[in-house]
Structure 1
Amino acid sequence: MERLRARAASAPARHRPKLSAALNDLALVLTAQGRSSEALPIAHEALAIERELAQAKPARHLPDLATLLYNLGITLMHLERPSEALAAHQEGLAIWRELPETATARHRSELSDSLNALANTLRKLDRSVEALTHREEAVAIRRELARSDPALYRATLANGLYDLGITYAELGRPADALPVEREAEAIWRDLFESGVDHSIPGLAVTCATLGARFTELGRAAEGLPFAQDAVEIYRGMFQANPAYGPHLADSLSVLGDALEGLGRHEEARTARDEASRYPQNL
C-alpha cells in the first residue's frame, strides 16, 4: 500500500483512483474479518480521495463515491455508530438519486441496496416508520430488476421482501407483513428447488418467520408446515456447521409455539426441550 501511495503522490491522475480502490478493498476485507475499528480510518482515507476525484470528474467517479459511502456506513454500523452511518447512507443515496434516468441496471441495484441500508440504519435508531418508505421503494426497484433479469435479481428481491415484512411487523402490521413474507418464501423455495445453494439460508429464515407470523395471527395450523420446514433445514445446516445452533434453537421454539397453538402440548414441550439444548441467539 505504501508503494501505491508513493505512486499516487508522483502521478496522481493515474494512480489515485487505484489507491482509492485498493484502500476500499482493504477496508472491506477488514470489516468482513470483524476488524471494523482498523477498517474505519482506511475507509475514510479512500473516501477522501474519491471525493476529490468526483469533484474533478463527477460523471466518472460519483457512482464510486456513492459506493464508498455505502461501505463506510456498513463499517460504522458494525461499530454500533448508527448516527454516523445514517449520514453516510443519506449522502450516498442522494448521489444515486442524482444519476440520470438512463442509469444502468447496476446503478439501479446499487440504489436499492442504498435504500435498504438506510432503512436498516433508521431501524437501529428506532425510526421504523421512516425505514418503511425506503424499504417499499427498494422492493419496487428490485421487482423491476427481477422482471428484466430474474436469474440475477430474484434473490435480491426475496431479501428485500423479507426485510419489508419484518418492518411491517415492527410497526404492528403483521397482516401486511404476511403476504410479502409469503412472496419471499415462494421465491426462495423456487430457487432452492432449482438447485441454487445460496437460497438455503434465505428459505430457512423466511419459513421460520412465517411459522411465527401465522401463529401470531391465530393461524397456527397454517404456520406449522413452515415451522417444520425451518427446523428440517436448520437441522441440516447445523449438522454441517454448528454455528447454526442458535438458528436451529429459534426454529424449534417457533415450532413449539405452533404446536402449542394447536393444543399439541406434549409435542410442543419436546420441541422446546430440544431448543434449550442449543446455544441461544442473544
Structure 2
Amino acid sequence: MSKTPAKEPGKSKSNKSSSVLSSKKSVRKALGEEPSLIPEKYQDLLALGLLALLLIIFYWPVLFEGKIFFAADNTASFSTKTFVSDAAKTGTFPLWFPYIFSGMPSYGSLMAGGDRSFDFLNQLWRIVINAVTFVSKNPSTAWIIFYYFLFGAGLYALLRVKVGSPFHALVGGIAGSFATLSLVWITVGHNTKIVAVAMIPFALMLAERLRQKQGWKSFLLNVGLLAVLLNIQVRSTHVQMIYYSFMAIGIYFLFELVSALLKKEPIQIWARSVGGFAIA
C-alpha cells in the first residue's frame, strides 16, 4: 500500500497566509480601480458637507429650538464673571483674582486675559465664528458645535493625507466628532478643551505636508497655516490639552526620525518638517 505523503505544517500555513494576502490585495486593487459615482473634485466638499449636516441634525434642538446643556462648569463660571465685568466697567485690569484657591494672579488663573486688541488673528477668527453661528438661536453654544465640525474636518484632512481614501477619511472624521468622550465635553462645559483638541489633527496634517517635497511658496503657506492653528489652540487657554497635543506632535516627530534612520531616508525631509513647525 502506498502512503500519502504528509503535508509539512509550516508550508501549509505559509501557503494559506500567502493566499489570504493575495486575495486582500486583489480586493483592494479592485476597489481602488472601481470608478466613483462622485467626481473626484467634489468628494471632499461632499464629505465635509455630510459631516456638517450630521452635526446640525444631532444638535438641532440646541441650535434652533432653544434647548441648552445644563453644564456644571458653565454654571460655576457665572460667579466669576461679575468680578471681571465690574473691573472692565471701571477701565481697570484686575491683577489679582480672589475667587479661585483663596486668590490667584489673574493671568495665572486664566480667568482674565487683558486687552488683546493687538491680536489681529483673534479679531479675524471672531468674525469667522460670528459669521458661522449667526443663524443659530443659541450662539453661545453654536460656536462649540462649530469646533466639533473642525475636529472632524481635521481628522478627515489628516486621513486624506495619510490614507488617501475619502470614504475612510470621512468615517474617521465622523467617529472623532461623535465619539462618546467627545460628546461628553459639551455636556459638562469643557468648552475650551474641544477648541484645543480640534487643532491637533490639523497640526499633524500640516506637519506631514511639510515633509513632502514642495516649493518655498507652499512651504511658507503650510507654515503660516500651522502658525494660525497653533495661535487658536494656545488662545483656548486649556493648558492640559495644549501640553498633551505638543507631546503628541513630539512623539510623531520622534517616530518619523527613527523611521527615517531605519529606512536610511534623507534626514533633510524630517528636518524640514521640524524646522517648519519650530518657525510656526
TM-score after normalising by structure 2 = 0.29
Higher relative contact order (CA 8 A, sep 6+): 2
Structure (1 or 2) with the greater helix fraction: 1
TM-score after normalising by structure 1 = 0.28
